[in-house]
Structure 1
Amino acid sequence: MIVMHAEMPIASDSREAALDLLEELAEQSRAEDGVVDYCVTTDVESPNTVRVVEEYEDADAVDAHMSSDHFESFQADIAAHLAGEPELYRFDVDSKTRVM
């Protein structure tokens, strides 16, 4: 499994527009083959920071997502709403275990 974690600083004056774009991205991404989960959250201590946690079955699913029309469109559209550079982290995970 591959887990991606993105952090995006959102401009406060266009926060609602950015969240609408992110909600649409999450909905479309969850429908993709190989996507285990796709979750968009805001930080309770920094409400203009958005975090996206993505889980994929394998590298092919990641590649398919990154080259999908809806993701490329999102990247173009979200740029106007960012207050800085996004950060993206990748985790290669052997297993997932629920502990509670």
Structure 2
Amino acid sequence: MIVISGSIPINPAMREEAMKTAAWMSEQSEGEEGCNRYRFAFDVRDPNLMVLVEEWASEEALAAHFTSAHMAEFQKAIPGLVGGAPSITRYEVSSSGPLR
């Protein structure tokens, strides 16, 4: 499994538009084969910091995501919404389970 985790500073004047765009992107992405999770949320300590968590079943599924039409549209929208440089990290997970 591949996990993507990151934070994206949002321009405060564009927060509502960022929320709409993120909700649309989440819905589109979670409809893709191999996407187990694609969620955005806002940081409880910084209302203008959007947090991203993605889970992908395989490298192939993630590669297909990067070439999707909705990713191209999202990448066009993002520059007008951000308020700083995103910080995004990729993890390759060998196992997972409930926290005990």
Length-normalised TM-score, structure 1: 0.96
Identity %: 34
* d(CA) in 2 for partners of 1:14, 1:99: 36
Q: Give the aligned partner of residue 11 of structure 1.
A: 11
For residues 9-55 of structure 1, what are the alpha-carbon distances to aligned partners after superposition, in whole Å with 9 as ceiling and x for unaligned?
00001100011000000000000000011111100000100011000
1:55-94 matches, within 5 Å, as: 55-94=55-94
Unmatched segments (≥5 aa) in structure 2: none
Aligned length: 100
Q: Give the aligned partner of residue 31 of structure 1.
A: 31
* d(CA) in 2 for partners of 1:14, 1:38: 21
User: Pairwise CA RMSD of aligned residues?
Assistant: 0.9
Q: Secondary structure at the match of 1:83?
A: coil
Length-normalised TM-score, structure 2: 0.96
For residues 54-74 of structure 1, what are the alpha-carbon distances to aligned partners after superposition, in whole Å with 9 as ceiling and x for unaligned?
000010111111111101110
Runs of 4+ residues deviating >2 angstroms: none
* Deviation for aligned residue 1:6: 2.2
